[in-house]
Amino acid sequence: MKVEELREQLERRAFTISFEESALFTEVYGFVGRSGRIFLEGQLLLPGNAPSDTVLLFMHPSSALNLLPLPRAFAEAGLHVMCCGSRYIRNDTSLIMEKAIIDMGAYVRYAKEVLGYGKVVLVGWSGGGSLSIAYQAEAEQPTITETPAGDPIDLAAAGLIPADAIWSVAAHLSRAETLTEWLDPSVVHEGDPDHRDRALDIYTSEALAAMPFDPAFVARFRASQVERNRRITSWADAMLRDLRARGTDEMERGFIVHRTMCDPRWIDPSVDPNGRKPNWCYLGNPRTANAGPVGLARYTTLRSWLSQWSYDRSNARTSLNAPRITVPALVIENGADDATPATHPRKIFELLGSADKSFEKIDDATHYFQQQPALQERAVAICKNWLRERCMIKA
């Protein structure tokens, strides 16, 4: 069947999954998580009447992927695609990575046991990369029995079904490590974003005049970013212990993290160079994004910070999980990525424990392949060829 025909016949089929789960308190706004049940929403992208025993499973901790061009491009190329939303879709304020892993497990089980697919390939695009790697590691060799906040969550007892392969596409090491590399270390007091250390503020006119940044300054800047992450982690941990010690009905607390989009890479192309556009990030002008309302971790909770944003405590760090993976793996680096740090894809590849693992780089490709249809087609072609070589799809 020709690509044009597949595009015309592309079918979007919505589905829902529901399962029981108890919680100490309501952590997700709306119906999801109420009345002791979790409701998940997904969408199948099916290429006309083209059958397949293999499905590509896209999932991100908090984003809906079914309207992005890449999943559609795979379906238009004749592959079956599942786009899966976690319980935290479009709102990661209270996101617990361990619960997102459980949600992914529900989708893998649905794909295998309800839809009847013989093989499931986890497509870890962007923030879905570390989630997919964490899921596969826990499905193969479970270790997690509680969240970083100390709440019980036994992933060994969750019955997670291992996927048959895993891809990391334009993906970073983890939300925690990426946020840390984007934290503005000039912030001195968390409650007052205007109180800053000018020596660490890379958006001042003095700093801009000093570019390219000296490697010693970058090293100091990076160390200060880690230090800020650890300060917030220490405070969140202490605050949670204090709430528990009070013995009241208050179990959780939300807070704001100011200025979280501050990476020297975005304004100095000599820092971890790739083909990205200078003075730009995937959210636009990095100076505007740094103080804007939609930066990573802008609004979060004590438990969520420890689970998804803490540099030292998050269980979703790829360094903890990738070595435990044994299934075939593919890592794709987008050569002009303006979101994922340029150093991360190669680190992911090196960390993966899979005996069968491949690495591909698509020069000039941005994070979203925006206005780059030819490069997106190349990514699809690389992935289809990888599947053919492993007999996961027919030629």
Per-residue pLDDT at 273 exceeds 80: yes
Question: Where does the pLDDT of residue 23 fall: very low under 50, low under 70, confident under 90, or very high at 90 and above?
Answer: confident
pLDDT digits (tens, 9 = 90+) for 366-383: 999 999 999 999 999 999
Per-residue pLDDT at 48 exceeds 90: no
202 φ/ψ sector (left φ>0, alpha ψ -120 to 50, else beta): alpha
Q: Are 58 and 39 in contact (CB under 8 A)?
A: no
Give the mean pLDDT of 73-87. Answer: 97
Give the mean pLDDT of 312-317. Answer: 98
pLDDT digits (tens, 9 = 90+) for 123-148: 999 999 999 999 999 999 999 999 99
Could you give all domains of the chain from N- to C-terminal order, each with its CATH number? Answer: 3-174+315-389 (3.40.50.1820), 178-309 (no CATH)
pLDDT-wise least confident of 1-10, 134-143, 257-266, 283-292? 1-10
Per-residue pLDDT at 228 exceeds 60: yes
Q: pTM of the entire structure?
A: 0.95
Burial of 126 by CB count in 10 Å (0-12 exposed, 13-18 middle, 19+ buried)?
buried
If one compares 174 and 394, the residue with the highest pLDDT of the two is 174
Biggest alpha carbon–alpha carbon distance for the chain: 65
pLDDT digits (tens, 9 = 90+) for 338-373: 999 999 999 999 999 999 999 999 999 999 999 999
pLDDT digits (tens, 9 = 90+) for 2-11: 555 555 679 9
